[in-house]
Amino acid sequence: MRGIAKGILLMALIGIAGCARQKEVVVAEVAGRKITAQDLVELAGKLPSFTKDKLLWTLIDREIMVQEAYERGLNNDENILRRLERIKLIEIARLLKEKFRERIEIPEEDVRRYYEEKGLASRQEVRARHIMVRTEEEAEEILKKLKEGADFAQLAKEWSLDRVSAEKGGDLGYWREGEVIGATAQKVFSMEVGEIS
């Protein structure tokens, strides 16, 4: 089914490119509700990193959820309507931020001067990784494996409860001194490069 849809989508997108009336070109239909080329183009503008076939499936999934919500009478629930309004405002703010960010160009010299004036250039920066586990015994077992030469990233993927960082081998990104607080940050900034704790 998805393979057929991809083929249809590609043909539809090729046709859309030269079409002046995108609002009328139907690229999919869900339970009688038409998804137009204009819907697809609008979503593509908001989510530029999505591939075109993923965009269509996203629209289809959204439409199915909306229809399910209507069938269950959720369109009259005040809490849901308020939450949807908040989500809409957050999305609008995100899109505006993206558009303004594209237009702003800050010369490198200005950035360098700002960092020097604020004392940010001299702050220590570290790249941290972690493996979050439930028990001290698990931590000790992992520490033993690391000392025996096991790959940190692989162990993070296998053991860590923090699934977001686990998928990146336990990587937490770069931390700048003073920007991250707490006992973990204090420990991280006191460690030597390559040290495991």
**104 DSSP β-pair partners:** none
11 with 26, same domain: the answer is yes
The reply to whether 113 falls in a domain is: no
β pairing state of 26-30 and 171-176: unpaired
The reply to whether 158 falls in a domain is: yes
Per-residue pLDDT of the chain (197 residues; tens, 9 = 90+): 444 444 444 444 444 444 445 556 776 777 777 777 677 667 666 654 545 566 667 667 777 877 787 788 877 778 877 787 777 777 777 777 777 676 677 788 888 888 777 766 666 788 889 888 999 999 999 999 999 999 999 999 999 998 888 899 988 888 877 777 777 778 888 888 888 88
Amino acid at 163: R
Retrieve residue 29's tokens. Answer: 């239909």
59 with 84, same domain: the answer is no
Collapsing DSSP to helix, strand or coil, 174 comes out as strand
13 with 60, same domain: the answer is yes
38 with 87, same domain: the answer is no
Amino acid at 58: T
If we measure between CA atoms, which residue out of 107, 125, 120, 113 comes closest to residue 185? 125
Collapsing DSSP to helix, strand or coil, 75 comes out as helix
The reply to whether 81 falls in a domain is: yes
The reply to whether 138 falls in a domain is: yes
In total, how many domains does the chain have?
3
Cβ(177)–Cβ(125) under 8 Å? Answer: yes
The reply to whether 40 falls in a domain is: yes
23 with 47, same domain: the answer is yes
63 with 87, same domain: the answer is no
The reply to whether 197 falls in a domain is: no
Domain, as residue range, for 37? 2-72
Neighbours of 147 (CB within 10 A): 9
